[in-house]
Every structure is written in structure tokens, then in C-alpha cells.
Amino acid sequence: MQATPYDDIADWYDEIAPAISNDATLSPFLVIVGDVAGQRLCDLACGQGILARALARRGASVVGIDLSRRMLEIARRYERDEPLGVGYLYGDAQTLDAVRDESFDGVACHLALMDIPDLDAVVQTVHRILRTGGWFAFSIVHPCFQTPGSEWLVHSDGKACRGVSGYFVERFWRSENLAGVRGKVGAHHRMLSTYLNALVAAGLQIERTIEPPETGERGRLHPGNREVPWLFFGRCRKGD
Ligand SMILES: C[S@@+](CC[C@H](N)C(=O)[O-])C[C@H]1O[C@@H](n2cnc3c(N)ncnc32)[C@H](O)[C@@H]1O
């Protein structure tokens, strides 16, 4: 069994999850995914299952998969409290040995690709478990504005702006904000082109992307995120 830092922070993550996976981040995800009623879906790196439950409420048949056993315990507790028919499996997104080829109509991965060291292995696995014509939707912390060297600055007009450096150096890093997820578990920084090229190389055709401005609570707390996006969303399709 692999160790994952999320086992140590799972209870804390569950408490703060509504501040991260809330309307502001789930809504663009659900927009990019579209109508899922009747589809067989995988919520990859599902955590405590917030997206899996949202997809199940929209009529999909959902399996959540995660590497953290503690996260999965919490997800199963939500399922017991409000049965939506979501099943949960322990698994590594880089291999998913227990999942058969072409099992799903769609695979969703919300805010987790930055956590996983081997991006090529994940997207190749996603391609393998999707049926032909199936979709892959993902969200990531925007790699152009959240880099190891990025910080909030004040522009000469008084507006918050983002200072970015270190973009071209792909590496694991840890935010200085120890109160946040990326301060606690770190992240793999990659260029946006690395993400997009990995998808294309795996045979996943990019169909749509969204970079939403933050209008809600996060926009109030971080006015700079009304100027530059915090998150990047994409949807791809497995071709013939
Ligand atoms: C930031 S959390 C996001 C959880 C959930 N998708 C959400 O939006 O709340 C990242 C998740 O990725 C999971 N994870 C990290 N590496 C993984 C891997 N190799 N395979 C499967 N899950 C992984 C962690 O255990 C954690 O639950």
C-alpha cells in the first residue's frame, strides 16, 4: 500500500473542502462536463467524494477512486448518510490495475493532477479506461499563475496583480502558506503546455477549456483572482 500525505490531512481536508470544492469550482466543472444522466463515470482522485456526489445527483452512475484510505472512509460515510449509489475503490490513478479497459463513459479529475507525479501515466490510464468517444474532464490549479515563485503584488494603479517566476522549471514544490492544501502537501508544477501535450499524446482530443474569474468568496478574499484565474478546466474526448 502506498503512503499518501492526504491520509494525514483527510479530516482537515474534509472540513475545508466546501471552501475549495464549492459552487465556484464545481459549477465550471459541471458546465464543462454537461449532461451526465445515465452515464457510467469515474471520479478519479475523488477525495471525500464531493464531485462524485454532485455527478450522482445529476443521474450518473459513479465510482470514486482514490489513493488515500482515510479519504475513502470519509467518502463512504457520506454515502451511508445520503445514499446516492456511489461506489468507492482504493487505487492509484497512475495504474488502476483493478479497472478494466473501456469501463467508463466519462472520467472526471477535480484538483488532483498536480498531486500525482507521473502525468503521462495518469492520462494514458484515463485513455485506457474510457470507452471510445468517452470524455475526460479535469481541473488544475492554474499553472501559469501558481508557480513556485509566484506572489501577489500591487500594480501602480492599486489593483492586485500576480508576479510569476520559475514557470519553466517543472518540479515538486510546497507553498509557503502552511495553512493551505499546497503548503501541507505540496504540488507538482508543470507548464500548461506540458498538460495539454500529455493529453494529446495519450489520444485525448481537447474540446473545451474554461478559465473562470473568481466572483464569489475567493474573489473577495483574493481580489487578484478577479484579474487572473486561479483554476483551469478542460474537457477532452477519446477518439477512434
Ligand atoms: C486536492 S485533493 C482533491 C480531492 C477531490 N477531487 C476534490 O475535489 O475535493 C487530491 C486528491 O488526490 C488524491 N491522490 C493523490 N495521488 C493520487 C494517486 N496517485 N491516485 C489516486 N488518487 C490520488 C489524494 O488522496 C486526494 O484525495
Spell out the SS3 assignment of the chain: CCCCHHHHHHHHHHHHHHHHCCHHHHHHHHHHHCCCCCCEEEEECCCCCHHHHHHHHCCCEEEEEECCHHHHHHHHHHHHHCCCCCEEEECCCCCCCCCCCCCEEEEEEECCHHHCCCHHHHHHHHHHHEEEEEEEEEEEECCCCCCCCCEEEECCCCCEEEECCCCCCCEEECCCCCCCHHHHHCEEECCHHHHHHHHHHCCEEEEEEECCCCCCHHHHHCHHHHCCCCEEEEEEEECC
Q: How far is the CA of 112 from the centre of ligand 1 (A)?
A: 5
pLDDT at position 177, please?
86
Whether residue 24 is predicted with pLDDT greater than 80 in this model: the reply is no
Residue 214 lies in a domain: yes
Residue 163 lies in a domain: no
64 lines ligand 1 (CB under 6 A): no
Could you tell me the pLDDT band of residue 221, with boundaries at 50, 70 and 90? Answer: confident
Residue 147 lies in a domain: no
Could you tell me the pLDDT band of residue 130, with boundaries at 50, 70 and 90? Answer: very high
Q: How far is the CA of 141 from the centre of ligand 1 (A)?
A: 13
The residue whose CA has the least distance to atom 25 of ligand 1 is 68
Distance CA 108, CA 33 (A): 8
Percentage of the chain lying above the pLDDT 90 cut:
77
Whether residue 1 is predicted with pLDDT greater than 60 in this model: the reply is no
pLDDT at position 222, please?
78
109 lines ligand 1 (CB under 6 A): no
Residue 57 lies in a domain: yes
pLDDT at position 158, please?
86
Residue 171 lies in a domain: no
Residue 101 lies in a domain: yes
Q: How many domains does the chain have?
A: 1
Residue 20 lies in a domain: yes
Could you tell me the pLDDT band of residue 223, with boundaries at 50, 70 and 90? Answer: confident
pLDDT at position 136, please?
98
Average pLDDT, the chain: 93
Mean pLDDT of 161-176: 93
Q: Cα dist. 157→135, 165, 223, 226, 232 in Å?
A: 43, 22, 14, 15, 27
For the CA of 93, the nearest atom of ligand 1: 20
Work out the burial of residue 158: count CB atoms within 10 Å of its CB; fewer than 13 is exposed, 13-18 middle, 19 or more buried.
exposed
Test site for ligand 1: of 2, 65, 67, most ligand atoms within 8 A of the Cβ: 67
Residue 155 lies in a domain: no
Mean pLDDT of 165-188: 93
Contacts of 84 (CB under 8 A, 6+ apart): 53, 56, 57, 62
Could you tell me the pLDDT band of residue 172, with boundaries at 50, 70 and 90? Answer: very high
Whether residue 2 is predicted with pLDDT greater than 80 in this model: the reply is no
Could you tell me the pLDDT band of residue 38, with boundaries at 50, 70 and 90? Answer: very high
pLDDT at position 16, please?
87
Mean pLDDT of 117-140: 98
Kindly report the CATH number assigned to the domain that includes residue 14.
3.40.50.150
- Residue 68 structural domain: 5-142+186-238
pLDDT at position 179, please?
87
Whether residue 215 is predicted with pLDDT greater than 80 in this model: the reply is no
Residues 58-77 pLDDT 10s: 999 999 999 999 999 999 99
Contact 123, 113 (CB under 8 A): no
Whether residue 183 is predicted with pLDDT greater than 70 in this model: the reply is yes
Of residues 226 and 47, which shows the higher confidence score? 47
119 lines ligand 1 (CB under 6 A): no
